[in-house]
């Protein structure tokens, strides 16, 4: 009996997919125990200490979190940072105008004084990673906190992190940022001690015909031909400490920066990548896979398609409108195509069956170890997913169809009776309008675009709500459908866009400052819409939240079982915007029968796609001249062709945009900017035969800096290894 049990247990471990498969978003502090030997066999020439060595200066110190959701890398002794064009797109757009259109024409600062500041943009560098699991448990016992919804929240954990820091490191100093995060659904906690820099300046960017070549048509696609990069610089106070923007600030002197390889890579070469991947769901159960496909993804696909078609029609009529809505459109289509690709991969590779195998292994382990709590956790998750289906669908409809799509639905509202009383003063009302209303309906808002989108979304949202609630008696009351139907009775939605005081400062001030004006304000069409949407979203969220605590506990128990069964050193935790590494090789793939995609593209492909009638595939004359004259400098391949993009088997997701790809020596060979459409399902299950990171070959970046932008200053600043 004992022998049979041991054989069964061994078999479960041997078939654990995460113990043998490629992929994974691993934590740097465990590199030596988990993957170092394998990586060195594949071609890594560095020791673990050369990659992660807190306080001593190592490869990881050159990797930065750029803004709230991207990665970048320090590439010079003067704080120069490479990231993606799409990561810096908002900053490039903010400095652009019809007269100085940096989106269209590109940008290069010939001197430090010409580099452009970007208020609100932050860059952080991880200095230390600390296991805070025991500290948090002791803290929770001390304060008597038992609600998992509380101690899974980053805001709460930051408070705990501050106390840990004061007890173990001393007083917080300027620029120190702390991020304590839950891993394995709260079975482990790690604290990331960071330095945060807030004086970040734009240095260079290619024109969109390079940085966005292929745009939405090519998004998530391979073969690819995009020069998706932008260049920034970190500035500090003269003493090297983080500081807000000042003309007296100086470029950062980093602990470590990446050398740049001028040799590039070839198919089969070992590569490694570091970054801040955002979200994965590697430990989904089968019912969670179904919910993701049939509810979350399908609603996103259907409603974003409606919004994007309406936006695009208006954007193509006017270049000024195109500039206004470029970033909004790009943000929408990015998630749209991701949802399509994830659903395709999940069905093609039968993710439900894969996750059922995972669950079956845990159920067997639960029975053999006499730990019924693991089987109970699986059953609870399945039950709750089924029970919350309609509420989940409504939450997604409101989020995708109204909150993220209809700009007036998110219009600012007066927050309190006290604020309303203050606004009876005409001067205060005028000030509030200028700061709050015009702060929201800013230079990138266009009333006619919003009118067009709103009309389309209202119709789509009403149909969707009717569909998901058909034959059901809801436990909640919704206001917005009635408000929408009322507003649709006015011609061209004139009640909103032609009559609302939100679009007339004088009327708004008059209403707010008049006796009884609060009634007229409350009955304004925009107020009614914005209020009803907010109230309904609160109602739906509250109803859904009834499941949250039990769901969190069940998920935590599920992962506790997985950790016991397979061991932490064999399991990589789901991504959560913390520093990770992944590794693999440069490698093409077979997307379908009798089709092979190689691992590298060249400028030949750019010319094959070139279409000046298309806003996605046009080229400025200088790009064409560089190609026709073969003016590639020393960055071309031995055969004379100019490399553009490469693919690797590294495991990436959103947040890895801008991540550095390095060779075995730790030299920069590329910048990650996308994944292939066939592999976006890797957020749920890694697909070794399909999944590829799409990467800008650094030689193309160097050629653009050198030959297109004429950025001699930057070329001399980089440490290029030939």
Catalytically annotated residues: 86, 228, 657
DSSP 45-107: -S-HHHH--TTT--GGGGEEEETTTEEEEE-STT-EEEE-TTTSHHHHHHT--SSS-HHHH-E
Neighbours of 14 (CB within 10 A): 9
Q: Which two tokens stand for residue 577?
A: 């915007």
Backbone angles phi and psi of 117, in degrees to 5: -70, 155
Tokens describing residue 267? 């198919």
CA distance 178 to 194: 6
Residue of 694, 702, 699 whose CA lies nearest to 587: 694
Q: How far apart are CA 41 and CA 43, in angstroms?
A: 6
Helix (H, G, I), strand (E, B) or coil at 574: coil
125 strand-pairing partners: 64, 195
Q: How far is Cα 712 from Cα 689, in angstroms, rounded to an integer?
A: 41
Say how many CA atoms lie within 13 Å of 576 toward its Cβ: 20
For the record, the structure tokens of 467 come out as 């569909």
In total, the chain counts a number of residues equal to 722
- Helical packing angle, 2-14 and 548-566, nearest 10°: 110
- The pair of structure tokens assigned to 138 is 């002791």
Q: At how many degrees (to 10) do helices 447-469 and 389-398 cross?
A: 170
Give the residue among 392, 361, 390, 391 at the shortest CA–CA distance from 378.
361
DSSP H helical ranges for 316-371: 319-348, 351-368
Q: What are phi and psi of 401, to 5 degrees?
A: -90, -20
Which tokens in the block code for residue 8? 């069964």
């Amino acid at each position: 009996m004992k022998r049979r049990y041991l054989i069964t247990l061994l078999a479960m471990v041997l078939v654990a997919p995460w113990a043998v498969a490629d992929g994974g978003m691993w934590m740097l502090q465990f590199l030596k125990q988990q993957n170092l030997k394998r990586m060195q066999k594949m071609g890594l020439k560095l020791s673990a200490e050369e990659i992660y060595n807190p306080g001593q200066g190592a490869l990881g110190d050159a990797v930065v979190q750029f803004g709230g959701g991207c990665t970048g890398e320090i590439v010079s002794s003067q704080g120069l940072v490479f990231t993606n064009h799409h990561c810096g797109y908002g900053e490039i757009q903010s400095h652009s105008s019809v007269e100085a259109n940096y989106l269209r024409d590109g940008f290069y600062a010939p001197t430090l004084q010409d580099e452009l500041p970007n208020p609100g943009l932050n860059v952080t560098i991880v200095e230390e990673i600390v296991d805070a699991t025991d500290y948090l448990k002791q803290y929770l016992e001390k304060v008597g906190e038992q609600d998992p919804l509380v101690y899974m929240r980053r805001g709460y954990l930051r408070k705990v992190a501050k106390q840990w820091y004061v007890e173990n490191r001393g007083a917080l100093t300027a620029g120190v940022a702390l991020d304590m995060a839950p891993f394995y659904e709260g079975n482990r906690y790690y604290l990331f001690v960071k330095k945060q820099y807030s004086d970040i300046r734009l240095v260079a960017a290619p024109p969109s015909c390079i940085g966005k070549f292929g745009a939405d048509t090519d998004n998530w696609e391979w073969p690819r031909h995009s020069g998706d990069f932008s260049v920034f610089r970190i500035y500090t106070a003269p003493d090297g400490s983080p500081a807000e923007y000042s003309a007296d600030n100086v470029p950062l002197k980093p602990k470590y920066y990446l050398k740049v390889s001028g040799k590039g890579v070839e198919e089969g070469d070992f590569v490694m990548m570091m970054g801040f991947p955002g979200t994965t769901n590697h430990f989904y159960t089968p019912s969670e896979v179904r919910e993701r496909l049939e509810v979350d993804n399908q609603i996103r696909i259907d409603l974003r398609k409606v919004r994007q078609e309406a936006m695009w029609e208006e954007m193509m009529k006017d270049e000024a409108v195109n500039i206004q809505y470029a970033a909004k459109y790009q943000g929408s289509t990015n998630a749209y195509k991701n949802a399509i690709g994830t659903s395709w991969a999940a069905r093609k590779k039968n993710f439900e069956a894969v996750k059922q195998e995972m669950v079956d292994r845990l159920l067997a382990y639960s029975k053999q170890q006499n730990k019924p709590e693991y089987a109970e956790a699986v059953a609870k998750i399945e039950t709750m997913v089924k029970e919350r289906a309609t509420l989940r669908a409504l939450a997604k409809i409101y989020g995708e169809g109204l909150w993220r799509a209809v700009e007036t639905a998110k219009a600012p509202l007066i927050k309190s009776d006290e604020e309303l009383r203050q606004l009876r003063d005409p001067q205060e009302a005028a000030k509030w309008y200028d700061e709050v209303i015009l702060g929201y309906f800013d230079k990138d808002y266009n009333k006619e675009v919003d009118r067009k989108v709103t009309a389309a979304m209202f119709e789509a949202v009403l149909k969707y709500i009717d569909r998901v609630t058909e034959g059901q008696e809801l436990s909640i009351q919704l206001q917005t459908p009635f408000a929408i139907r009322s507003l649709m009775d006015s011609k061209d939605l004139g009640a909103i866009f032609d009559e609302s005081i939100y679009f007339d400062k004088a009327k708004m001030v008059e209403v707010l400052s008049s006796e009884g004006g609060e009634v007229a304000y409350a009955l304004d069409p925009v107020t009614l819409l914005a209020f009803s949407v907010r109230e309904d979203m609160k109602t739906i969220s509250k109803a859904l939240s009834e499941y949250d605590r039990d769901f969190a506990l069940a998920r935590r128990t599920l992962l506790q079982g997985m950790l016991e069964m397979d061991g932490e050193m064999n399991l990589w935790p789901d991504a959560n915007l913390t520093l990770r590494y992944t590794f693999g090789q440069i490698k093409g793939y077979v997307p379908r029968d009798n089709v092979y995609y190689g691992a590298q593209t060249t400028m030949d492909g750019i010319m094959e796609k070139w279409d000046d009638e298309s806003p996605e595939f046009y080229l400025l004359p200088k790009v064409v001249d560089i190609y026709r004259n073969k003016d590639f400098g020393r960055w071309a391949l031995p055969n004379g062709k100019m490399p553009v993009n490469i693919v690797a088997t590294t495991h990436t997701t959103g947040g890895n945009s801008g991540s550095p790809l390095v060779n075995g020596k730790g030299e920069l060979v590329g910048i990650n900017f996308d994944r292939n459409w066939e592999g976006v399902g890797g957020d749920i299950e890694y697909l070794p035969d399909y999944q590829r990171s799409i990467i800008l070959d650094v030689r193309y970046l160097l050629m653009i800096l050198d030959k297109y932008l004429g950025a001699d200053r930057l070329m001399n600043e980089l440490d290029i290894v030939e």
